[in-house]
Structure formats: structure tokens, C-alpha cells
Amino acid sequence: MMETLHTLLYFVVAIVLLIGFHEFGHFIVARKLGIKVEKFSIGFGPKLFSWRGKDGEVEYIIAAIPLGGYVKMLGENPDEQEGIDTDGNPISEVDLKRAFNRQPVWKRASVAVAGPGFNIIFAIVAYMIVSWMGHLAMPSTVGVVYPHSLAESQGLMTGDEIVAINEHPINSWRSLEEGLKKHVGEEVHLDVRRQESPLRFSFVLPQPEKDAFLIDVADEVLGINLGVDILIDKVMPDSAAEQGLLEAGDQILAVNGDTVKSIHGLITVIGSSADKPVNLQVKRQASRLQFEVTPRADASGRGLIGVQLKAKPWAEPFMQRSGFVEGVVYGFERTWEVSKMTGEMFKRMVSTSIAAENLGGPIAIAQMAGTTAERGMVYFVMFLAFFSVNLAILNLLPIPVLDGGMLVFLAIEQLRGKPLTPALMMRIQMVGVLLIMSLMVFAFYNDIMRLF
């Protein structure tokens, strides 16, 4: 129960911060450009608190449902575009001149871009803070080279430190993995330090069957990993693992006599053994034990034993921390890298090279918020930065009701010399609403299926 409340709390904090900052971007740019803003709300639904600013123009609202927010500008509603306010009264000529719909295209486009723009600014600053605070990272040193792998055939060895990919410096295992993802299907040049001697390995990194963004390329394609102990973090009630007498804290050494080198390798064996007994060799405290467990088939026929796993690296993490100038540079560079990766992910989802089943919804976001917060404030800030970039890119998609859809409408208006009719825009926006609602329902369904 407490774990659920913890996750929910950090989810709400993330939503309020990021969507609030997004809406603040629309708000502040509209105000600076002289557009009349009537309401700025954090949350939806009934008002909990409201007050007006010093000029009395804007009503600031804290609403009951803290899962979003909005900015209400004069001239957004169809009636207001005809000069009538929401109460049916005529709008003064002075106010009409400040109405959103009466502004030149460049002003309205600036307001539309400001929301995603402020999310990008948030991410840049958050990554700067992460860099200044410092966070633990794993060294890019090879712990295990798999037999018969690409890495073994090229001569990589345990203890090799990978320092660059295609001339791009590598300073952690994460940057190694991200670098490999960028170059699947291409020739790769790995610069390696072996006992202080520089070496270079050149080869073509094969294109995997699954999209590179969905797999561990170092492990599953190149055939290396940090070297990890695979531990059971949690055993689900009434699961095959519980019936097989497995316990939290058990270290899985081997499955069916083969040494377990990675979580992916273990999951692959278990997944292909639905309704077939598997033999697990486990280390429990100082004892080595053998258990026979029969994975149960899920809806897709994949075998599951009902455990949560975690990997404990053999290597010691190190603290990555930057000075002021380096942190500023990192903020911009990291935001750009995450923006490119996010854009590529959206493109691949549209082209169906990444299956829609990988789309996550509010439950997945909440779990990420809770998990990163448990690890520490710096990791929660990293999550906020990543989520903020995703929110910015999502809102720039050319879908009606999103900021990107508004930009499309404005581009059409600029080309035609006049806007689309309110009736046509309303019909197009209804299509956008239906599309967004469908995506949300599908993402929520994916979340539920992952839980069960």
C-alpha cells in the first residue's frame, strides 16, 4: 500500500511540474505578446483555490484533478471569435484587439511553440543540475565476452575498456549502449584500452531482428556485458517461483546447467519453456541449491515464473560529476541526444518498425517516477528531464488539438491568406481528440496487460 502511494505521489509531482511548466510557457509568451489571458489552471475539474493577479485580468486556479492544466485565452472559443463572450455578452473592441484569434500568425505560432519550448528548457536545466549534482555510472569495461559472439570473433576480451565509438568518446556503460544503438547495421570502430595499450576493432554491427531501441545491443548483438549477478528481487504470490520454493535474495547461477550471464539470457530460456520444467541452480546465502520450476504460459504463450529480477554488477560504479561550464554544455548536449532518440522512436512507431505494444501509458510513467525516486533525487530529476523532452516532442506532432496541430493550421492560414472556417477546424479537432483518446486507451490497455 505504501509503495503504491509513494509511486502515485511522485507521478502527480511529475505531471504537475512538467505540464504546469508547459502551460506556463504558453501563458507567459501570450502575456508578453499582449494577448488577453483569462485563466491559468493547474489541474482539471472543480476549483480548489483561485485568485487573481495584481491587474485583476488573469484568474489563477488550482483544480481538483492534478493530471494536467490549461491556459484560457480570449478568442479561442468559436463564440468569442464572433465577438460574444461565454456569458453571451458582447466583447469590447479593446479586448477584441487582444483576442488570440485576432493576432498575426507569428504571434499565435509563438504561443503554440512556447509550451514544448519550455519543456525543452526544463530538460536542459534539469540535465545541468544532474551533471552538477553528480550521479553514479558504470564503467565501460567489458566484464563478460559471450562464447561464439561477435565480440569474441573480433578479439575483444574481459577487462577491455571501451573508450570511443566511431571517434565519439565513451565515458560510461550507458554511453556505450547508446552509441551502439546509433550504429546498428553500420561499420563500427571501437577504440579500446587494454592494459594501457590502445587498440582498435572495426566490424559491421549486424541489424538485430528487434528494433535496437528495444534491446540491449551490447548484450544481444555484440555479445558483451558488464558482468553481473542475477538476483531475485521479489517473488509474486501464487506464482510458479513461489511453488518452486524460490525466495527473494536468491542468486540464479545457472538454468538447465548453463551459466546465467544476463537477465535477457535468463528470460529467453524461461520464456521458451512454457509448461516445461526448468532446473535452476541458486545461491542462497552460503548454500548452492537446485530447484525445479515449471514456467506458466501467459496470453502470448511465453513462459513466466513470477519473479522480479535485478542485476548486481561486478564492477564498482563511479561518480560522474561536472564543473559549472561542463554541466552547462552537458545540459544542452544531453537534451539534444534525448530529443533525437525520442523523435526516432516516434518515427519508428509510426512506421510500425516498433510494435505499438511497446507504447506505455500513465501506469508505466507512474512506475518510472516511483522507481527513479526510490533511487534518489538525482535519478528522479533525470526522469523528469527525459519525460519533459518526450512531452515536448509529443506536443509537436502534427495532430489536431496538440501544439503541432495548431502550427499546421497556422501554416495553412499563412499559405491561403485566411484561416480555415471555425466549423471545419472543429471537425478536424474532433478527429484529433478521438485519435488521442484512442492512443491513451491503447496505452492504458498495454499498461494493464504488463501488470497481469
Angle, helices 362-375 vs 2-32, to 10°: value is: 100
Give residue 1's pLDDT: 63
Same-domain check for residues 7 and 127: yes
Any domain includes 422: yes
Domain boundary pick from 225, 247, 267: 225
- Alpha-helix residue ranges (DSSP H) falling in 90-104: 93-97
Any domain includes 161: yes
Say which amino acid occupies 287: S
Place of cell 571501451: 162
344: how many CB neighbours lie within 10 A of its CB? 16
Give residue 212's pLDDT: 78
Same-domain check for residues 414 and 447: yes
Q: Are 22 and 395 in contact (CB under 8 A)?
A: yes
pLDDT band of 86, cuts 50, 70, 90: low
Give residue 55's pLDDT: 84
Q: Which of 8-17, 109-118, 316-325 holds the top average pLDDT?
A: 109-118
- Half-sphere exposure (CA, 13 Å, Cβ side) for 285? 1
Q: What is the mean pLDDT of residues 80-91?
A: 66
pLDDT band of 4, cuts 50, 70, 90: confident
Domain boundary pick from 278, 312, 346: 312
User: Is residue 196 among the annotated active site residues?
Assistant: no
pLDDT, greater one: 80 or 335: 335
Number of domain units in the chain: 3
Please give the angle made by the CA atoms of 22, 28 and 34, to the nearest 5 degrees: 140
Same-domain check for residues 185 and 281: no
Give residue 450's pLDDT: 58
pLDDT band of 447, cuts 50, 70, 90: low
Determine which helix (DSSP H) or strand (DSSP E) holds 190, and give its type and residue range: strand 187-194
pLDDT band of 91, cuts 50, 70, 90: confident
Same-domain check for residues 125 and 197: no
The yes-or-no verdict on residue 123 having pLDDT over 90 is yes
Q: Is 253 helix (H, G, I), strand (E, B) or coil?
A: strand
177: CATH: 2.30.42.10
Any domain includes 28: yes
Give residue 210's pLDDT: 79
Please give the angle made by the CA atoms of 231, 234 and 239, to the nearest 5 degrees: 115
Same-domain check for residues 275 and 172: no
The yes-or-no verdict on residue 292 having pLDDT over 60 is yes
Choose the catalytic residue: 3, 23, 161, 178.
23
Average pLDDT, the chain: 88
Q: Residue 427: give the domain boundaries.
A: 2-33+103-131+387-451
Any domain includes 111: yes
Q: Which of 35-44, 131-140, 425-434 has the lowest mean pLDDT?
A: 425-434
Give residue 438's pLDDT: 82
Give residue 369's pLDDT: 84
Percent of the residues in the chain that have a pLDDT greater than 90, as a whole number:
51
Q: Which of 40-49, 106-115, 349-358 has the lowest mean pLDDT?
A: 349-358
Q: Which of 131-145, 264-278, 347-361 has the lowest mean pLDDT?
A: 347-361
Same-domain check for residues 239 and 302: yes
Same-domain check for residues 308 and 256: yes
- The C-alpha atoms of residue 347 and residue 349 are separated, in whole angstroms, by 5
Comparing C-alpha atoms, which of 10, 40, 99, 112 is closest to residue 383? 10
Place of cell 535452476: 280
Quote the pTM value.
Answer: 0.82
Same-domain check for residues 233 and 216: no
- The C-alpha atoms of residue 424 and residue 401 are separated, in whole angstroms, by 13
pLDDT band of 79, cuts 50, 70, 90: low
Any domain includes 320: no
The yes-or-no verdict on residue 158 having pLDDT over 90 is yes
Give 196-228 pLDDT, tens digit per residue: 899 999 999 998 887 777 788 999 999 999 999
Q: What is the mean pLDDT of residues 152-179?
A: 93
Same-domain check for residues 234 and 249: yes
Q: Are 146 and 224 in contact (CB under 8 A)?
A: yes
Any domain includes 219: yes
Q: What is the mean pLDDT of residues 414-434?
A: 86
Same-domain check for residues 176 and 286: no
pLDDT, greater one: 34 or 437: 34
Q: What is the mean pLDDT of residues 224-252?
A: 90
Handedness of CA 374, 375, 380, 383 (dihedral sign): negative
Any domain includes 270: yes
Burial of residue 71, with CB atoms counted within 10 A of its CB: 0-12 exposed, 13-18 middle, 19 or more buried: buried
Give 346-385 pLDDT, tens digit per residue: 777 766 555 556 666 677 777 788 888 888 899 999 999 9
Same-domain check for residues 202 and 120: no
Q: What is the mean pLDDT of residues 426-438?
A: 85
Domain boundary pick from 225, 256, 285: 225
Any domain includes 68: no
Give residue 90's pLDDT: 73
Give residue 53's pLDDT: 83
Same-domain check for residues 286 and 246: yes
Q: Are 338 and 123 in contact (CB under 8 A)?
A: yes
